[in-house]
Structure 1
């Protein structure tokens, strides 16, 4: 018969003080694998995990990996789409006269996309969209 104290010395059953995490609350592939291997390591050899449960957990891991890949693909798509939209907007400004928030007028010479923002080249300086108050034909 198994000693009760050895069962509760198992890290899976040990109560620990709740701490406030500083990271995100999402589980990633590595954390899932660590949980799965810990579960396998500390399972009772006389009462092993059911095969269907194990296969279910592996399927869950596969699904998690695919969801992470889909998320990465969507993030890449959104980033590219945002840049394309900004450049298209900027291209419509080239050659037009813009008025800044400080009431200065400039003719747009070109545009660029830096640090996730559209930059407007007016020759003497570079402006952001926040600094533009109006557009003249």
Structure 2
């Protein structure tokens, strides 16, 4: 059985780089913000898209109130690297122009788990790089 959800969330956030900058460390040091990420993990584990959206909204409100809006990127990364994200994607183009796309997952995933991961991926692709630049600018 898995250990504490708090330790799991902490390790996952650290694997996404929160401990590499002073701003990133806020996600671990601010207890309310950290608990928001724990709620996000619970929503992901339950594969509840509505609860995931609510948790991300709470995280967004919390980081805005702290004056660190760019930390929302860690919520997007959290979802992007969930089990609903494909391990591999294959794209084949046939001679007639038809494109076949197949994906492989680490385990069987539900449509809701894929939706959660895709939603996080979409937001990360839209604004993740610029938000990460802001996070790493705090390193100086």
**Higher CA-based Rg:** 1
State the TM-score, normalized to the length of structure 2. Answer: 0.24
Of Structure 1 and Structure 2, the greater strand share is in: 1
